[in-house]
Each structure stands twice: as structure tokens, then as C-alpha cells.
Amino acid sequence: MSGAKGLDLTLKIWRQKNAQSKGKLETYQLNSVSPDSSFLEMLDILNNELIEKGESPVEFDHDCREGICGACSLYINGEPHGPGKRITTCQLHMRSFNDGDTIYIEPWRARAFPIIKDLVVDRSAFDRIQHAGGYISVNTSGNTQDANAIPIEKEYADEAFDAATCIGCGACVAACKNASASLFVSAKISQYALLPQGQVEAKNRVLNMVKQAEKEGFGPCSNTGACEVECPKGISIENIARMNREFLKASIAE
């Protein structure tokens, strides 16, 4: 016996020409897909077939294909990044599916993430949130102090590092019933709030980043915890509690 014969799949994929057009789910049949291929490779195979047939390929986001850049998105079978926890779509493999399966593939859905084409959405709202306060001001004129010169308790350093592992993929927004960006924003706030270097701008940081997120159209947080479950980096909603705390402190002091 040679290896598995491969999976015959029915794909239901969201196709939309541009931001203005309406878009709809299209059905594609793809046969003999190797269970060893990754999900994105499966889409590459589909796109090759489409190109050969003279149809336009399915647009989707990807870059590193090793779970570090956050570019790949896709709402697969009702969950961001598909079945499986703590992975991005590029880390998802076809062995997670069965022969004969129907797979729904949709873009992130959020007012703040408008569709550009097919499965690609505009996530620049995250950049603008980051610009609103996700930084520390350090003089880089040549005599910059080494960050390691400041002693930091290991517990805080670890927690700040955990928060900093957020790759800005947007799965938290996609998973949330309110399309809230609270997990992302709180991770970006926490990575500074936990460190001495972040204290100087702490107050304005939390006020401005939260304000920007709301301006972009992300929803309120209902504490469902869906974001934490779907986050490929396992960012904890403890960060959201910290953001709520920091916001209260900063608002009262304002």
C-alpha cells in the first residue's frame, strides 16, 4: 500500500472583487490533497488549478509561513486559524481534516478590518493603535542606555515578554462576538506597563490606545474569553484586566 490517497474536499470560499462589491461564498472541489500539505499549500494548489483554468486566484494573506509574522488570517470552519489551538493558519495542516469534508474559508469580519479582496482584509487599524502609544521615547543620539542596565524582577520581565509575543494577527478580533480588539490592545499596553521603561508614558499610552481602538470601530469587551482561546500566542485576558485597571487609574488622574 502506498500512503494515503489524499483528501477530496469541498471548499466554500468567500470571493469579493473589492471593498465596494458585495461578495459571496463560492464552492470549489479540490481532490487528492495530501494530508501532509499545509493549509496554505492547499490554497496554493487550488490557485494553480484556477489559474490554469483562466480564473482569478483566491487572494489570501501570508508571509513568513512559520507562525511569526501574523500575516496569515482566515476564518476556517467557524474559527480563526481553523481547528487546533495556539497555531496560525500557516501552521495548520491538512491532516486536521477528513476525506470528504466541507471547509468554509472566510475573511476576518470586523467593521475596523474592511475587506480589500477575497480573504484579504486591511489591518492597518492595528498600526494606528500602535502609533497612538505603543512605544517608549528613548534618546537614540548615540549614548543610549542599555535596557538591561535596569534590574527588573523576573516575574515582571516574563509577563511583559509574554505580552510582547503578540504578532498582531487579529485572530482575537475575528473570534470576538463584538469584534473587540481588547486582547491586542491590552497586550501592547501590558508589555510596557509591566516594565520601568514604560512608566513615563503609561497614562497617556492607555488612554490614547484605547481611544484609537474605539475610533477605529472595534467593539467593547464582553469578557467571553474567546480571544484568549483562539490567540495563536496564548496571550492571556489577564492583560485585559490590567488594561481596565490602568485605564481607570489614568482616567481618574487625568
Partner 1 sequence: MSKSKGLIKSHIVKKYWMAFTGLFLCLFLLGHLAGNLQLFIPGYKGQLQFNEYAVFMTTNPAVKLLSYVTYISILFHAIDGIVISVNNKKARPQGYAFSRPGANSIWSSRNMGILGTIIFVYIVVHMQNFWYLYKFGEVPYQKAEDNLSPLLNDGTVVKGGEIINGEVVSNGEVIGIAMKDLYTVVLDGFQNPVLVAFYVIGMVAIAFHLVHGFQSGFQSLGLRNKKYSPMINKAGFAFAILVPALFAIIPIYMFIRL
Q: Which residues bind partner 1 (CB under 8 A)?
A: 12, 14, 25, 75, 77-79, 104, 106, 109-112, 175, 177-180, 204, 207-208, 210-211, 214, 217-226, 229-230, 237-238, 240-248, 250-252, 254
Among 48, 98, 199, 223, contact with ligand HEM (rule: CB under 6 A): 223
Rounded to 5 degrees, what are φ and ψ at 193?
Answer: -60, -25
Minimum CB separation of residue 99 from partner 1 in Å reads: 20
Residue 244 near which of partner 1, ligand FES, ligand SF4, none (CB within 5-8 Å, type-dependent): partner 1
With contact defined as beta carbons under 8 Å apart, do 128 and 113 qualify? Answer: no
Question: Quick one: 5 or 111, whose CB is closer to partner 1?
Answer: 111
Among 92, 121, 166, 194, contact with ligand SF4 (rule: CB under 6 A): 166
For the chain, report the end-to-end CA distance as a whole number of angstroms.
72
User: DSSP labels for 180-249?
Assistant: --HHHHHHHHHHHHTSGGGSTTHHHHHHHHHHHHHHHT--------HHHHH-TT---THHHHHHHHHHHH
CA atoms of 193 and 97, how far apart (whole Å): 41
Among 21, 199, 222, 251, contact with ligand HEM (rule: CB under 6 A): 222
Minimum CB separation of residue 89 from ligand FES in Å reads: 6
Rounded to the nearest angstrom, the gap between the alpha carbon of residue 98 and the centroid of all alpha carbons in its chain is: 26
DSSP 8-state secondary structure symbol assigned to residue 57: P
128 near ligand FES, judged by CB under 6 A? no
169 near ligand SF4, judged by CB under 6 A? yes
Beta-sheet strand order (sheet of 79-80): 24-33, 7-15, 102-106, 75-76, 79-80
Minimum CB separation of residue 88 from ligand SF4 in Å reads: 8
Residue 62 near which of partner 1, ligand HEM, ligand FES, none (CB within 5-8 Å, type-dependent): ligand FES
What string marks each residue from 56 to 95 as x (binds ligand FES by CB under 6 A) or -?
A: ------xxxx-xxxxxx---------------xxx-----
48: left (phi over 0), alpha (psi -120 to 50) or beta: alpha
Residue 71 near which of ligand HEM, ligand FES, partner 1, none (CB within 5-8 Å, type-dependent): ligand FES
List of residues 6+ apart from 113 with CB closer than 8 A: 107, 121, 122, 123, 125, 170, 173, 174, 179
Residues that bind ligand SF4 (CB under 6 A): 166-172, 183-184, 187, 231-233, 235
Residues that bind ligand FES (CB under 6 A): 62-65, 67-72, 88-90
Residues that bind ligand HEM (CB under 6 A): 222-223
